[in-house]
């Protein structure tokens, strides 16, 4: 089991089960939403994700049709995103998890629009227009 929380601690959650590998997204929307050169996401089944506190603090923003980004309405921490075409998955922001992670990043997506001031210096696969296995 893993636990996580927003910056103010008002939103707390747990994930029951093993984690999928971290996905690194460099698209301009993720950069703007996070305020960082990329977002680190872990897809989690909605059946494994449990909100323990802060449901009333959750705020959502539909950044593109069918994609909602959810954040804490008090401290502004980005929490997860969800897509209408994948209703059984939330993409948790990896930095929110309290415990050390055994999983590591597996690829970089949308590298064609990455921040020009950030270098990708690892050997992970890079996908200029998104991960090709995404449905």
**What is the predicted pLDDT for the residue at 130?**
86
pTM value? Answer: 0.91
Residues 6+ apart with CB under 8 A from 7: 72, 75, 76, 77
- Whether 40 shows a pLDDT value over 90: the answer reads yes
Residue 53 near residue 10, CB atoms below 8 Å = yes
Taking residue 54's Cβ as centre, other Cβ atoms within 10 Å add up to 19
Cα gap 110→61, rounded to integer Å = 21
Of 86, 53, 74, 99, the C-alpha closest to 8 is 74
Taking residue 114's Cβ as centre, other Cβ atoms within 10 Å add up to 22
Give the distance between the most distant pair of CA atoms in the chain.
Answer: 41
Which pLDDT band, with edges at 50, 70 and 90, does 33 fall under? very high
**What is the predicted pLDDT for the residue at 134?**
60
- Whether 23 shows a pLDDT value over 90: the answer reads yes
**What is the predicted pLDDT for the residue at 132?**
79
The token pair at 109 is 């997506």
Three-class secondary structure of residue 2 per DSSP:
strand
From 2-6, 57-61, 113-117, 131-135, the region with the lowest mean pLDDT: 131-135
Residue 64 near residue 83, CB atoms below 8 Å = no
Which pLDDT band, with edges at 50, 70 and 90, does 45 fall under? very high
The 10s digit of each residue's pLDDT in 81-135 is 999 999 999 999 999 999 999 999 999 999 999 999 999 999 999 999 988 776 4
Give whole-number Cα distances, 110 to 40, 96, 113, 134, in Å: 13, 22, 6, 12
């Amino acid at each position: 089991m893993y636990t996580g929380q927003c910056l103010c601690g008002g939103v707390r959650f747990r994930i029951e089960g093993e984690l999928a590998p971290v996905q690194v997204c460099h698209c301009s929307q993720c950069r703007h939403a996070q305020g960082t050169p990329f977002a680190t996401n872990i897809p989690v089944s909605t059946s494994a994700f449990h909100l323990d506190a802060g449901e009333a603090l959750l705020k959502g923003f539909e950044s593109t049709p069918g994609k909602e980004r959810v954040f804490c309405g008090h401290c502004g921490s980005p929490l997860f995103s969800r897509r209408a075409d994948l209703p059984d998955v939330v993409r948790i922001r990896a930095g929110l998890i309290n415990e050390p992670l055994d999983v590591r990043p597996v690829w970089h997506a949308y590298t064609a629009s990455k921040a020009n001031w950030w270098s990708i210096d690892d050997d992970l696969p890079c996908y200029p227009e998104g991960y090709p296995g995404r449905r």
